[in-house]
Amino acid sequence: MQTNTETAAPDTPTPSHSPVQDEAKLAQARRQVEAIKGFYIHLGVFVLVLAGLFTINAASGGSWWVLWVFFGWGIGIAAHALMVFGRTPRAVADWERRKLKQLMTER
């Protein structure tokens, strides 16, 4: 039988991070979710606009000019996907950290 004076078991994990670290992780997670959401919105607009342009191009006949739009905008979509899902280049990550520190010290 346990009494109220007994403490938690010694194998109970203790938090090794501060509330500030938790808040920073939460802020980072929110930024990542916003970036992913932004990419999916961009992709959805791309699909809808290209479907409309393809329909117009097919109805009007002639050369397939819609392919130029597809390839040009497709490069932008691929770059956006790399920024959101790919590994951020070291220089960009370092700049982001410096900029965050600068903005936080200004406030």
| Per-residue pLDDT, 12 | 54
Give a yes or no: residue 91 inside a domain. yes
Identity of the amino acid at 88: T
Along the 107 residues of the chain, how does pLDDT read in single tens digits?
A: 555 555 555 555 555 667 888 888 888 889 989 999 999 999 999 999 999 999 999 999 889 999 999 999 999 999 999 989 887 677 777 888 898 888 888 87
Between the alpha carbon of residue 45 and those of residues 17, 28, 80, 83, the distances in Å are: 41, 26, 13, 18
Determine what percent of the chain falls in helix, strand and coil, rounding each to the nearest 5: 75, 0, 25
Q: How far apart are CA 84 and CA 37, in angstroms?
A: 10
Give a yes or no: residue 15 inside a domain. no
| Per-residue pLDDT, 93 | 78
Give a yes or no: residue 14 inside a domain. no
| Per-residue pLDDT, 80 | 93
Whether the model pTM is above 0.75: no
